[in-house]
Amino acid sequence: MVDLNGCPPGPTRQPCRPGRRSGSNLVTMLRSVILAAARSPRVERLVETAPISRDVVHRFVAGTGADDALRATRQLVDDGLGVSLDHLGEDTLTPEQAEATKDEYLHLLKALSDAELTPAAEVSVKLSAVGQRFDEKLAYDHAHGICAAATEAGTTVTIDMEDHTTTDSTLEILGRLRVDFPTTGAVLQAYLRRTEGDCRELAGSGSRVRLCKGAYKEPETVAYQSKLDVDKSYVRCLNILMSGEGYPMLATHDPRLVAIGEDRAKWFDRSPDTFEFQLLYGIRPDEQMRLADAGYTVRVYVPYGTEWYGYLMRRLAERPANVAFFARALRSRN
């Protein structure tokens, strides 16, 4: 066990030199390789056609359609967990694709309402999936329609964050959405150097902010590269949000960061209904239940849809230990 300076607790015989751990360097290298593969059509075809892919994807993705999403949501809600549903699809290139994504969310929200799964279930939306990369006004209009449908269904929306080139656009659109739908959630990524400032801007009363580490390949000029630096940034951002007047949503599977979140909740005298923990579907389900049993609000991020490849690769990069699961599954099938 090490602290967030990378040093073991207690006296040591050897000098502690933070940030110079070979294991951390290997993780960083592995993460870079996986993220590069996420943009490789050749690797994508290989993964999609491998017999094992179905088993691996089912661990992290609820399924391909809304019925699959509803089934997973019902099970989680019955277990006392909240849900945030994400319809996968971020490489939207045409207005027709953007409108189809919007329509899928409208269908999903009505189905959630009809099944009486709201407000326990909300939705997460990537603006790129509704046209952000080629028409920001169109993306805003579609997101506005989704937010209106969510309000009618008795729930809300969180606007996902993507790579750093879209951060300013996403925050600008978020601000406009919050005029009509003030509970619309934001997502901030601790690995970006700018995020402490964004946390201060968004820590006000009524502001819902999901804090995650970040899972895109970013240049060193805009993002911390080592796990240690990202973790330390996460803690600084967590402190800002937990000491503010908003509603922090702590998205992490790291046991140390979860423990720090629990500690800060006590330090800042936050009751369980003033913040929540968020974890990904299929990752650390026992921890999800432990936190819920301890009285915390816990929300599970549940993706579904046919465009699962990029999401899967980012999950592997985010937590390289998941690669071992993938490899074991491959060996067992072979």
pLDDT of residue 41: 62
Separation of alpha carbons 258 and 296, rounded Å: 11
pLDDT of residue 60: 84
Q: Are the C-beta atoms of 292 and 321 separated by less than 8 Å?
A: no
User: Which one of 210, 264, 315, 319 is the catalytic residue?
Assistant: 210
Query: 154 and 144 in one domain?
Result: yes
3 given a catalytic annotation: no
Query: 190 and 100 in one domain?
Result: yes
pLDDT, tens digit, 9 for 90 and up, residues 171-213: 999 999 999 999 999 999 999 999 999 999 999 999 999 999 9
Task: Kindly give the parts of the chain with pLDDT less than 50.
Answer: 1-2, 5-22, 38, 329-330, 332-334
Query: 52 and 114 in one domain?
Result: no
User: Which one of 160, 198, 229, 231 is the catalytic residue?
Assistant: 160
Our count of domains for the chain comes to 2
pLDDT of residue 18: 41
User: In sequence order, what are the residues at sequence separation of 6 or more whose Cβ sits closer than 8 angstroms to the Cβ of residue 78?
Assistant: none
Q: Helices (H) and strands (E) in the chain — how many of each?
A: 13, 8
68 given a catalytic annotation: no
Domain of 78 in residue numbering reads as: 63-306
Q: Is residue 12 part of a domain?
A: no
Q: Is residue 240 part of a domain?
A: yes
Q: Is residue 131 part of a domain?
A: yes
Q: How is 175-207 classified by DSSP, letter by letter?
A: HHHHHH-TT-BEEEETTBTTHHHHHHHH-STT-
Query: 110 and 219 in one domain?
Result: yes
Strands 208-212 and 186-189: parallel
Query: 153 and 44 in one domain?
Result: no
3-state secondary structure at position 262: helix
Q: Is residue 3 part of a domain?
A: no
pLDDT of residue 332: 44
Query: 171 and 89 in one domain?
Result: yes
Provide the Cα torsion 148, 151, 156, 160; round to 10°.
0
pLDDT of residue 271: 95
Query: 140 and 86 in one domain?
Result: yes
